[in-house]
Amino acid sequence: MMKISIFGLGYVGAVTAACLAKNGHKVVGVDPVDAKVNMINRGETPIIEKDIGAIIKTVVSDGRLTATTSASNAIEKSELSLVCVGTPSHANGDLNTHYVQRVCEHIGESIKHKSSRHVVVIRSTILPGTIRNIVIPTLEKSSGKFAGRDFGVCNNPEFLREGTAVYDFYNPPKTVIGETDCISGDLLASIYQNLGCPVIRTVIEVAEMVKYVDNVWHALKVGFGNEVGNICKALGVDSHDVMDIFCSDEKLNISPYYLKPGFAFGGSCLPKDVRALTYKGKSLDIDLPILNSILPSNNLHIENGLRMVMEEDNRQIGFLGFSFKAGTDDLRESPVVEMIERLLGKGYDIKVYDKNVNLAALVGANKDFIFNRIPHIAKLMVKTMDEVLQHAQTIVIGNDSSEFKDVMARAKENQKIIDLVRAVKGRNSTGLYKGLCW
């Protein structure tokens, strides 16, 4: 059993407080609104949520949950605090961290004279950098103590859906803990040990970002599904039948595939099929802002890769891999081919190597494409990776073929490496290696 204080008795705070108390912990809720505090202390719920009323009534009656307006009183009675206050938007869309900062001031002032070590956990949704730049400085200034030594700080984003929050608390998809030190992370992890879900412990900034990625992804899925529905309706196709089949594919569609940051997509299918569907939407006079943004977004990624190469100000460039992905000889709409052609037009001295494309040039189906459609690039092809390494001042890795994974060990001391696909697993901090979006 742990002694826990919950700051903020809104939706997340009330559910978290009640469920932790139900699990046997001694919980005190803190809120500046007297009405909420009084309702909790009477065994009543301050929010509308399935099952929460009965839980609060029971845990208050059993003495496991109380509430107060006094931060110092709550800190004195607890060893770990969960901050669950709101983070609304400013008028310009920026995150409003006023309530988080204000609560941290109160907590800092309360732990100033506390002899035992206290752990502060931010459960509110906050952008990366908030804990390092706002939470920790505020706590240190208010308490006169130092984070990691005198008190601990963690981030613990919540994944509660309105209407199913109690179920979600006990059946989470994951528990994410961003920690400044292992002792604090251990203490926080102990309150979730019986939930039966993966507990993922990571650095603070990753934990802060995960909640935003989750929510933006869910928003994107809703928008994507609705745009597909609009096209289907216009074509007389049952959109729910289509999406039921789409969602039944858990190998590619509902899976980690295609979701890891890397380079732009290409090949014989994706670009042309996006074009065809968005063109059909235009012909039906349907506005599809999400689908219409896919190809422009992809093109911006190619521009980012080009900018990284040109910023190095090296004229001798070597490309390792230029088919649109490893294990294929397909050069159709390869984003790497686009980069090579753009750099050639700017006068760069280029050599390219791709084992699969070399074979295709001899016997493959792409032979005609290589020698008749991109003969200017065919002239740049070399037979070995070593020839590229000998030539290049900047090495660009275009696909994640296994033979490129040790390129850093084989590169010369002053060669720059630009990895478009995260093919290199071990990276250094000398500035010679740069990833496209990591």
Q: Let me know if 269 is a catalytic residue.
A: yes
Is 410 annotated in a binding site? The answer is no
Is 236 annotated in a binding site? The answer is no
Count CB neighbours of 413 within 10 A.
Answer: 6
From CA 110, how far away is CA 145, in angstroms rounded? 11
**Would you report the helix, strand and coil content of the chain in percent, each value rounded to 5?**
45, 15, 40
| Contact in structure between 171 and 165 (CB atoms under 8 Å) | no
Is 282 annotated in a binding site? The answer is no
Is 335 annotated in a binding site? The answer is no
| Contact in structure between 360 and 329 (CB atoms under 8 Å) | yes
Is 379 annotated in a binding site? The answer is no
Ramachandran angles phi, psi of 198, nearest 5°? -60, 130
3-class DSSP assignment, residue 438: coil
User: In 3D, which of 77, 6, 58 has the Cα closest to residue 37?
Assistant: 6
From CA 64, how far away is CA 2, in angstroms rounded? 11
Is 383 annotated in a binding site? The answer is no
Count CB neighbours of 188 within 10 A.
Answer: 24
CA dihedral 180, 186, 187, 189 (to 10 degrees): 100
CA dihedral 327, 331, 337, 341 (to 10 degrees): 150
| Contact in structure between 146 and 140 (CB atoms under 8 Å) | yes
Is 405 annotated in a binding site? The answer is no
- Encoded tokens for 166: 């109690």
Is 266 annotated in a binding site? The answer is yes
Is 291 annotated in a binding site? The answer is no
From CA 41, how far away is CA 68, in angstroms rounded? 9
Is 252 annotated in a binding site? The answer is no
Q: Which of 182, 197, 247, 269 is catalytic?
A: 269
Is 162 annotated in a binding site? The answer is yes
Is 295 annotated in a binding site? The answer is no
Is 261 annotated in a binding site? The answer is yes
Is 272 annotated in a binding site? The answer is yes
Instruction: List Cβ neighbours of 428 (8 Å cut-off, separation of 6 or more).
Output: 408
| Contact in structure between 43 and 56 (CB atoms under 8 Å) | yes
| Catalytic residue annotation | 269
Q: Which residues are annotated as a binding site for NAD(+)?
A: 31, 36, 87, 125, 162, 272, 332
List residues forming the annotated binding site: 31, 36, 87, 125, 159-162, 211, 258-262, 266, 272, 325, 332
Question: Residues forming the annotated binding site for substrate?
Answer: 159-162, 211, 258-262, 266, 325
